[in-house]
Amino acid sequence: MQKKKGRRPVIPQNFYSYDFVSMAKKEKVAFLRVKLLVLEQIKQGKGYREVARSFCVDETAIKKWVVRVASQGPAALRVAPGRGRKCKLSKGKIDEFKAAIQELQNKRSGGRINVADITAMANEKFGTNYKVKGMYDLLHRINMVWISARSKHPVHNPKAQESFKKTL
């Protein structure tokens, strides 16, 4: 018995003006590449069911992609901002939070702060309930990059180091 291919989709005419293959080649995000390749198969005249089986995607999702691209263009395939869990710090407190991190580092007499220190400070000072993993995500979102020189011990002696280098 032959498998059903599904009925041919009814697609608006402006859908055919997009070159999904070249867009997929330039796309860096994997799930968007898959969406673009699925849409290329639909554009070539394959049925929703057939394409859904070959790409392991739900038929209704493909139908929604087709409608969205036909009405808003390929940019509508991207995940809209604002989805997912919201930040526990308000946008107004982000600058204050960055300043508090810098202050925490400046107070340290030797070594450097770590994410556990920042998490404890944020939970205490800002009344948040972050865990270490969530703090890594927050630091990434607010573009806090930790690239620093090797830390100095609080009781290091530069003169002793120089005399050691001379006698070596």
Q: 69-115 pLDDT, tens per residue?
A: 888 889 889 887 777 777 788 888 899 999 998 888 888 776 678 88
Gap between the Cα atoms of 48 and 64, Å rounded: 11
Q: Count the Cβ atoms, other than its own, within 10 Å of residue 32.
A: 16
Greater model confidence, 143 or 87: 143
Is the confidence at residue 126, as pLDDT, over 70?
Answer: yes
Gap between the Cα atoms of 47 and 5, Å rounded: 6
Kindly list the domain boundaries of the chain, sorted by start residue. 13-77, 91-141
Gap between the Cα atoms of 20 and 70, Å rounded: 13
User: What amino acid occupies position 42?
Assistant: I
Its pTM surpasses 0.75? no
Burial tier of 166 (Cβ tally within 10 Å: 0-12, 13-18, 19+): exposed
The pLDDT-based confidence of 146 (bands split at 50, 70, 90) is low
Q: Which two tokens stand for residue 44?
A: 């070539």
Gap between the Cα atoms of 20 and 74, Å rounded: 9
